[in-house]
């Protein structure tokens, strides 16, 4: 085929064709499979393998609470509209059910065949109730009578005692009974709910332990003493179950006068919203399962029978209680840049040049110090800050409160709708307001996901602005677990753009022209499309063209189509997408020049870095947002350039190229939507995260 004929053939390909897109939900389940696979890696420390198992379980919980719940609502409303892959909501639910059942079965197989035997070899035991010795039985009996019996409220079902409200993801038991009580009652069925305050895993004291660490499950304790809850009656069966409910808070933001009060009113409903999944122990009789599914209005494919505790995430307590550093990743101390070590004045350091921070390899304390020094500095007049997720006892929040109390102008934009952190953020808003800070909740209909801190300081006769921008949250805890970049600058163009974004969030007005920063929902999407198309034009003109992009998720269809067009033109494209990816690589005539890889390891890969060759004068952007519909159109995001040459080179080398050579923790996306692990083969093993840990070792 001639070059002209090839070009004509390419033009006829419909890039919107559903076969060119991977389903979003199935892509997530593939990602969670990669997380679970980490629990099977023999070289990973044992308690870290347990951690990955718990994370995979927790991820699946949220998937059902939000994504499956949303699809069920669409089916209930009669929706048949599919996404770019053209799969209807009902078709998605069918495929999700098939894959999710396989994943759940695999989770418990990993637990029972690998993790628990591994723990036993290290003298850490989760004791089955059939294996308790006499001394242990006595202690557990006392624990039950002392700690559980006064709190538990068993409900025998009859007309005066209807089925109790079951909390979202709570531990419950359905119990079959024989006999009659003092009033002559016997419905044959009772429900026992385990209050959230009770620990799901109880460590036995050394006085009755036979191993270094002996644990018993709360479910085993209740099961073993169920007869004591129904004196004079015979318990013929006791089966644990858990209900997962729709946890998406639906607030009509256009119809409420106060978003905080509206959310406060909605939070309790999350615990008792529509059920979407039933988990039961695999020894539960079918008639009991049928009874529960009928009560919760669920279908057979909504039931997940499990060989173990119904909430694997509770096993995380083992890692917290077991003091065995040798069974965890080696501790490390984040590094600190030499320039920051030489000067305690962070503003003086920033004036000498931009500062790039790579977390967790470099200390998040630099970001804390930036806000803390601003709070204490008498020359600082104002601090403006966005907060999406923070930890308890946040040093940054303490500094903002101190600054407000000292009379500085403190403005904080808190995203109240940060999923599952709504309650904490509401409390945070109250705390800051009480200190005298100006608190706003951003823009109705758009989550404020941008990570920005702006300090305005008087220096002589001028006001000087300093900015921190990041790819991750202002959360010291996750800064040790997530890979993220932080950027400190006093560059006029960037600081001016950031000030305008804050004005948008706290006041009214049109976006206006930005000098350097791409901002969602206005210029982020358009800017990325233009940068992709520029590389495409270079390729069409037979010039070198290259795109490398690293992000958490790639979903937005017009960006995917732009990448397809660039690939058709000959642009070499490497994508490092940790989680969901709807782009299908390797399609003949469409995406042959695109490779997609996912890195899953010790740290959660959270950086967003975008590289465009630009005829050798390459551009690099860092971003708070992924290439998803919500980040482009329904959130306030910042995507900002890094312009200093040494920093650009550093970002390209350690933020992108290093990950493209990782052959131990990388998974390569195949055209069918599956992933294959990268293996070293005849080359030396290379792990990006380990190399970075060693290079930044302090």
Both tokens assigned to 308: 């173990």
Alpha carbon separation from 607 to 388, 484, 621 (Å, rounded): 16, 5, 11
Q: Per residue in 161-175, pLDDT tens?
A: 788 899 999 999 999
User: What is the model's pLDDT at position 506?
Assistant: 87
Distance CA 509, CA 354 (A): 30
User: What is the model's pLDDT at position 90?
Assistant: 94
User: What is the model's pLDDT at position 436?
Assistant: 85
Q: Where are the alpha helices (DSSP H) in 353-394?
A: 365-376
The answer to whether 396 and 459 are in contact (CB under 8 A) is no
Report percent pLDDT > 70 for the chain. Answer: 92
User: What is the model's pLDDT at position 437?
Assistant: 87
pLDDT category at 269 given cuts 50, 70, 90 is very low
* Count of CB atoms situated within 10 Å of the CB of 341: 10
Place of tokens 């719940």: 69
The candidate with the shortest Cα–Cα distance to 678, out of 596, 587, 574, is 596
Alpha carbon separation from 583 to 574, 591, 595, 670 (Å, rounded): 12, 9, 10, 10
pLDDT at 4 over 70: no
Residues 6+ apart with CB under 8 A from 306: 104, 108, 279, 280, 281, 282
* Per CATH, domain 94-327 is 3.30.1840.10: yes
User: What is the model's pLDDT at position 260?
Assistant: 44
pLDDT at 644 over 80: yes
User: What is the model's pLDDT at position 422?
Assistant: 60
Q: Which range, of 9-13, 113-117, 275-279, averages the lowest pLDDT?
A: 9-13
User: What is the model's pLDDT at position 421?
Assistant: 53
User: What is the model's pLDDT at position 267?
Assistant: 42
Catalytic residue, candidates 449, 475, 525, 606: 449
Q: Tell me whether strands 635-641 and 447-448 are parallel, antiparallel or unpaired.
A: parallel
What CATH class has 519-695? alpha beta
The candidate with the shortest Cα–Cα distance to 546, out of 618, 613, 620, is 613
Mean pLDDT of 245-267: 49
Known catalytic membership, residue 449: yes
Q: Where are the domains of the chain?
A: 94-327, 338-513, 519-695
Q: Which range, of 155-164, 313-322, 485-494, averages the lowest pLDDT?
A: 155-164
User: What is the model's pLDDT at position 427?
Assistant: 77
Q: Which range, of 222-226, 319-323, 430-434, 492-496, averages the lowest pLDDT?
A: 430-434
pLDDT category at 417 given cuts 50, 70, 90 is low
pTM (2 d.p.): 0.91
Distance CA 515, CA 496 (A): 8
pLDDT at 5 over 60: no
pLDDT at 216 over 90: yes
pLDDT category at 470 given cuts 50, 70, 90 is very high
User: What is the model's pLDDT at position 687?
Assistant: 96
User: What is the model's pLDDT at position 268?
Assistant: 47
Which three-class secondary structure state does DSSP give residue 68? Answer: helix
- Do the domains 94-327 and 338-513 sit in the same CATH topology, yes or no? no
User: What is the model's pLDDT at position 184?
Assistant: 64
Distance CA 375, CA 397 (A): 11
Distance CA 362, CA 652 (A): 17
User: What is the model's pLDDT at position 1?
Assistant: 38
Architecture of domain 338-513: 2-Layer Sandwich (3.30)
Both tokens assigned to 509: 């007005």
User: What is the model's pLDDT at position 270?
Assistant: 43
Distance CA 108, CA 2 (A): 56
Which three-class secondary structure state does DSSP give residue 594? Answer: strand
Q: Per residue in 578-606, pLDDT tens?
A: 999 999 999 999 999 999 999 999 999 99
Place of tokens 């006769």: 461
pLDDT at 177 over 50: yes
User: What is the model's pLDDT at position 653?
Assistant: 97
Both tokens assigned to 377: 């500095």
User: What is the model's pLDDT at position 419?
Assistant: 55
pLDDT category at 76 given cuts 50, 70, 90 is confident
């Amino acid at each position: 085929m001639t070059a002209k004929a090839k070009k004509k053939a390419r033009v006829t390909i419909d890039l919107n064709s559903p076969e060119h897109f991977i389903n979003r939900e199935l892509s997530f389940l593939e990602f969670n499979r990669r997380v679970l696979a980490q629990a099977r890696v023999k070289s990973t420390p044992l308690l870290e393998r347990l951690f990955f198992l718990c994370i995979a379980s927790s991820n699946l919980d949220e998937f059902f609470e939000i994504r499956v719940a949303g699809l069920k609502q669409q089916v209930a409303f009669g929706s048949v509209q599919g996404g770019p892959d053209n799969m209807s909501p009902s078709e998605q639910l069918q495929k999700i059910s098939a894959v999710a059942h396989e994943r759940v079965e695999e989770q418990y197989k990993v637990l029972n065949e690998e993790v628990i035997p591994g723990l036993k070899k290290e003298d850490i035991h989760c004791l089955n109730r059939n294996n308790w010795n006499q001394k242990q039985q006595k202690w557990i009996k006392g624990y039950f009578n002392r700690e559980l019996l006064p709190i538990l409220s068993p409900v025998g079902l009859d007309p005066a005692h209807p089925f109790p409200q079951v909390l979202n993801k709570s531990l419950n038991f359905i119990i079959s009974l024989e006999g009659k009580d003092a009033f002559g009652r016997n419905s044959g069925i009772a429900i026992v709910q385990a209050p959230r305050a009770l620990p799901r895993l109880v460590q036995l004291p050394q006085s009755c332990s036979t191993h270094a660490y002996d644990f018993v499950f709360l479910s085993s304790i209740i099961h073993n003493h169920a007869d004591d809850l129904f004196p004079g009656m015979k318990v013929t069966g006791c089966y644990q179950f858990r209900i997962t409910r729709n946890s998406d808070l639906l607030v009509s933001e256009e119809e409420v006068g106060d978003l905080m009060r509206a959310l406060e009113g909605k939070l309790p409903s999350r615990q008792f919203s529509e059920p979407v999944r039933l988990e039961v122990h695999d020894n539960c009789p079918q008639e009991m399962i049928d009874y529960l599914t009928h009560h919760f209005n669920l279908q057979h494919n909504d039931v997940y029978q499990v060989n173990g505790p119904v909430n694997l995430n509770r096993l995380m307590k083992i890692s917290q209680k077991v003091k065995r550093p040798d069974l965890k990743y080696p501790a490390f101390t984040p590094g600190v840049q030499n320039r920051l070590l030489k000067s305690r004045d962070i503003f003086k350091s920033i004036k000498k040049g931009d500062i790039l921070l790579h977390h967790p390899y470099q200390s998040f304390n630099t970001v804390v110090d930036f806000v803390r020094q601003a709070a204490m500095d008498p020359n600082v007049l104002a601090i403006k800050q966005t907060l999406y997720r923070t930890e308890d006892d946040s040093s940054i929040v303490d500094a903002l409160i101190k600054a407000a109390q000292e009379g500085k102008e403190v403005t904080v934009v808190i995203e109240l709708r940060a999923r599952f952190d709504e309650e904490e953020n509401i409390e945070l808003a109250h705390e800051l307001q009480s200190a005298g800070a100006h608190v706003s909740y951003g823009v109705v209909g758009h989550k404020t996901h941008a990570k920005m801190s702006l300090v305005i300081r008087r220096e002589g006769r001028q006001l000087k602005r300093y900015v921190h921008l990041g790819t991750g949250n202002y959360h010291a805890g996750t800064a040790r677990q997530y890979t993220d970049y932080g950027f400190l600058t006093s560059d006029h163009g960037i600081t001016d753009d950031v000030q305008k974004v804050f004005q948008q969030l706290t006041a009214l007005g049109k976006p206006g022209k930005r000098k350097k920063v791409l901002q969602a929902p206005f210029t982020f999407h358009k800017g990325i499309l233009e940068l992709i198309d520029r590389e495409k034009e270079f390729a069409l003109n037979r010039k070198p063209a290259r795109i490398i992009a690293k992000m958490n998720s790639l979903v937005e269809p017009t960006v995917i189509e732009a990448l397809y067009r660039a690939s058709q033109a000959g642009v070499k494209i490497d994508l490092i997408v940790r989680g969901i990816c709807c782009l299908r690589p390797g399609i003949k005539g469409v995406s042959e020049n695109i490779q997609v890889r996912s890195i899953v390891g010790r740290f959660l890969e959270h950086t967003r870095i975008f590289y465009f060759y630009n005829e050798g004068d390459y551009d690099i952007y860092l971003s708070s947002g992924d290439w998803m519909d919500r980040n482009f159109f329904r959130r306030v995001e910042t995507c900002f350039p890094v312009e200093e040459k040494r920093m650009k080179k550093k970002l390209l080398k350690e933020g992108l190229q290093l990950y493209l050579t990782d052959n131990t923790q990388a998974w390569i996306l195949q055209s069918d939507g599956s992933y294959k692990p990268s293996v070293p083969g005849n080359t030396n093993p290379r792990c990006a995260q380990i190399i970075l840990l060693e290079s930044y070792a302090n």
